[in-house]
Structure formats: structure tokens, C-alpha cells
């Protein structure tokens, strides 16, 4: 028997409020992350405008600003060309659906329990496939991910 106080808790209202708060926080975090670099560039431009023409740091600061602007432009270009592999995502969803169906049949008991092994296998394949093909990355004509060669330690150290 439920008490009157426990049944009067407005769970739907609490759930709606919590979802709204989480959505606002997520939007705020995304906006803060995207504008951080641009705000730094703007501040550096103000500092650059206040430096003397003969200052030795003027060229260093200008190169830093230029490098960050190039980085923003390159990431925007990459984001516009990035895509998912629709065939891979469809296959992953099919495998996950198959895994759920096998799990449901296995829950019926009896000989159906043998379906747990292929169901787990299909579920694992579906999760891996969804991870690989569901991400937005640069892809070739066949849908394979294009990876850039990794820079050596010396090259990475030279950047800094």
C-alpha cells in the first residue's frame, strides 16, 4: 500500500524539469567550447593593436593568431566533408535488432537458450559497426575512413 505522500510526488514534472536542465547545460557547454578559441583570437587581436610597431613580440603574436585562424578554417572544411557510412550504419542496426530478437527468443527458455551465443556475437558486431560507421569522419568513395599519417615525435615537438 502506498502512502499518500509517496503517490503525490509529481514524477512527470520532475522528469521534464531534469531533462530541460540537462538540455540547457548541454547547449551551454557546446557554445562555450565553440566560442573559446574565437574569443582568444579576438583578445589577442586587441593586444596586437596595442603593441608598438617595433615590438619583437608583434610578429610572434601575429603568427599565433594566423595559426589559430588556419586551424579553425581547416576544421570547418573537414567538418563539411565528413560523413557517416549509411550502409554500415544500416548493417549495424540490423545486427543489433537480430541480437535483441535472439535474446528475446532465448528468454523463452528451453532449447532457445542456444541463441544467446549468436545473439551476443551479433550484438557485439553491431555495436562495433555502429561505432565505426556512425561517426562523422572523412571517407573515400567506398565508405572507408581516411586516416592521415601520424606525425613523428620530432615533427610534433617542432610545432610547439
Total domains in the fold of the chain: 2
The DSSP symbol for 147 reads -
Q: Is residue 5, in this structure, part of any structural domain at all? A: no
Q: What is the pLDDT of residue 1?
A: 46
pLDDT in tens, 121-160: 999 999 999 998 888 877 777 777 777 777 677 776 776 6
Domain that holds residue 157: 83-160
63, 44: one domain: yes
C-alpha cell of residue 24: 540547457
Mark which of 29, 55, 81 sits at the end of a domain: 81
Q: What is the pLDDT of residue 119?
A: 92
Q: How far is the C-alpha of 83 from the C-alpha of 145, rounded, in Å? A: 10
Cβ–Cβ under 8 Å, residues 37 and 72: yes
Ranges 38-42, 62-66, 77-81, 112-116: which has the least confidence:
77-81
Pick left, alpha or beta for residue 143 (phi over 0 → left; psi -120 to 50 → alpha; otherwise beta).
left
126, 89: one domain: yes
Q: What is the pLDDT of residue 86?
A: 83
Q: Is residue 155, in this structure, part of any structural domain at all? A: yes
Average pLDDT over residues 31-53: 76
70, 87: one domain: no
Ranges 86-90, 95-99, 127-131: which has the least confidence:
86-90
Q: Is residue 2, in this structure, part of any structural domain at all? A: no
Mark which of 28, 48, 81 sits at the end of a domain: 81
Q: What is the pLDDT of residue 78?
A: 65
97, 154: one domain: yes
Amino acid at each position: 500500500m502506498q502512502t499518500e505522500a509517496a503517490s503525490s510526488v509529481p514524477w512527470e514534472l520532475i522528469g521534464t524539469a531534469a531533462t530541460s536542465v540537462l538540455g540547457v547545460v548541454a547547449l551551454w557547454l557546446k557554445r562555450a567550447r565553440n566560442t573559446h578559441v574565437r574569443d582568444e583570437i579576438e583578445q589577442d587581436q586587441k593586444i596586437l593593436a596595442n603593441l608598438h610597431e617595433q615590438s619583437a613580440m608583434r610578429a610572434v603574436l601575429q603568427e599565433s593568431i594566423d595559426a589559430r585562424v588556419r586551424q579553425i578554417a581547416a576544421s570547418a572544411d573537414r567538418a563539411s566533408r565528413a560523413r557517416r557510412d549509411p550502409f554500415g550504419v544500416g548493417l549495424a542496426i540490423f545486427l543489433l535488432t537480430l541480437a535483441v530478437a535472439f535474446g528475446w527468443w532465448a528468454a523463452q527458455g528451453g532449447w532457445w537458450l542456444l541463441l544467446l551465443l549468436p545473439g551476443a556475437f551479433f550484438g557485439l558486431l553491431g555495436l562495433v559497426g555502429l561505432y565505426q560507421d556512425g561517426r562523422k569522419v572523412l571517407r573515400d568513395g567506398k565508405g572507408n575512413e581516411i586516416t592521415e599519417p601520424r606525425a613523428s615525435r620530432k615533427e610534433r615537438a617542432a610545432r610547439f
